[in-house]
Every structure is written in structure tokens, then in C-alpha cells.
Amino acid sequence: MQIRPTEIPGVMLVLVSTNSDERGLFARTYDSAVFAAAGLPTQWPQCNTSWNARRGTLRGLHFQAAPRPDPKIVRCTRGRIFDAVVDLRPESPTFCRWTAAELSETNRSALAIPGGCAHGFLTLEDDCEVFYMMGEVYVPELARGARWNDPAFAIAWPAEPVTMSDRDANWPNFQA
């Protein structure tokens, strides 16, 4: 397992190594000592799965407000997604900047996302499943979002969304 920093402080790409033989493969996807050495959380009180039927499904941009911002590890366990993260931490040198990675069942990579960052993804093929390890439990009254196409972020999505919830379609532009 390798953990590589991205251009946004605290957002890390988690790369896994596989061992293959005639049975298939094995890969370690989480190791608390490796995560701790990289400065990542090691406690994950909640895990979630999102299944998405169609290519072009957009979920996000979501985040949980203080006092319980939600760090997360996001992995695509079926299909392929474009996973985007926006830094919403006012004190950060990369405030309002974004980074992204393609996550797939084939590359088995994950993104580690610190609290204070918004997250969203676009499915790149039908039948995608996304697994989240959450560093904080979901608190509905702290749930927030920002527009996926907010000009303040200018995320270079690889395609126009085809499907999204009314809530995600109607998040306001981000107010710093």
C-alpha cells in the first residue's frame, strides 16, 4: 500500500498492491499503522455504500459542517468514477481549489479526504458502487453542499451529469 499526497493538503491517494495467483487476488485496502504514519485518521465509526445504476450519475458536492466535519476514505468497488474534492477550509493555502482522481474496481485506489472538504463524484459507467469509510457519524442538521458546477471551483468534470438528485442540482453556489 502506498499513500501519495495530492496538491491539496490532507487529500491523499491511497494505492493498493495486489497479490495474484490462480485463485484471484488479494489486496490490503486499509492499514491503521500506514494511515497513522501518513497523518490520516485511523478511527472509522461509520461505513456507507452508494450504488448508482447509470453512467453520468452525479452525487455531491457534500460535506458536514463543524463541529463534526467528516473525514472519509472513498473507494469505487464496482465500475468507475471521477471523484472530486474541493478544499473548503478557509485557513488552507488551497482554499476553494479542487483535485480529482479516477477510482475504479480495476485500480482499487481510494481518496482520503479530510474534514472541511466537499466531495462529489460522477459515474463513468453503468452499475457503479462506491464504499465510504466515515471518520464521523452522519449528523443530518450539519449536512451541507455546494453546486457541482460552481464557478468558484471550476471543476473540470469529464462529462455533463445525466442524473442527480433535486437537492444536489439546487445547492447554492459556495459563499466563502
Query: pLDDT tens, position by position, for the chain (176 residues)?
Result: 999 999 999 999 999 989 999 999 999 999 999 999 999 999 999 999 999 999 999 999 999 999 999 999 999 999 999 999 999 999 999 999 999 999 999 999 999 999 999 999 999 999 999 999 999 999 999 999 999 999 999 999 999 999 999 999 999 999 87
Q: Rounded CA gap, 163 and 143, in Å?
A: 21
Q: Is pTM beyond 0.85 here? A: yes
Which CATH number fits the domain 2-17+28-169, given the four candidates 3.40.50.300, 3.40.50.2300, 3.30.565.10, 2.60.120.10? 2.60.120.10
CA dist 85 and 98 (Å) reads 5
Reduced to 3 states, what is the DSSP secondary structure of residue 59? strand
Cis amide linkage into residue 61, ω under 30° from 0: yes
Active site residues: 62, 132
Query: In this structure, which long-range contacts are made by residues 3-9, counting pairs with CB atoms below 8 Å and at least 24 apart in sequence?
Result: 3/34, 3/35, 3/38, 3/40, 3/112, 6/85, 6/99, 6/101, 7/94, 7/97, 7/99, 8/85, 8/87, 8/92, 8/94, 8/97, 8/98, 8/99, 8/117, 9/87, 9/92, 9/93, 9/94, 9/114
